[in-house]
Amino acid sequence: MNYKAIALATILGISAPAIIDVAIPQPVLAARYNYPKATFADKDWRVSLSFDNNFYYYYGLWREP
């Protein structure tokens, strides 16, 4: 067995949550996102997007040829 590789993998595995906490600041995670709200269509599909009561909805309708 390669004990150096196992020790390195263990150290990296334990320190990964701390690295993520430093790399991604919390205010960025809580930033407000402007969800698109509209209806988009092409020759095959019509998709409606909406955001209501803290839920994001989509409805897709396939147009038969």
Residue ranges covered by each domain of the chain: 3-62
d(CA 4, CA 11): 11
The amino acid occupying position 26 is Q
User: Residue 11 pairs with which residues in a beta bridge?
Assistant: none
pLDDT along the chain (65 residues), means of 10: 82 77 65 81 91 88 81
Question: Mind listing the pLDDT tens digit for each residue in 18-32?
Answer: 777 767 666 655 667
User: Residue 55 pairs with which residues in a beta bridge?
Assistant: 52
**Predicted TM-score (pTM) of this structure:** 0.45
* The pairing of beta strand 38-41 with beta strand 55-62: unpaired
d(CA 48, CA 11): 47
The pLDDT assigned to 51 comes to: 87
Tell me what percent of the residues of the chain surpass a pLDDT of 70: 80
d(CA 59, CA 54): 17
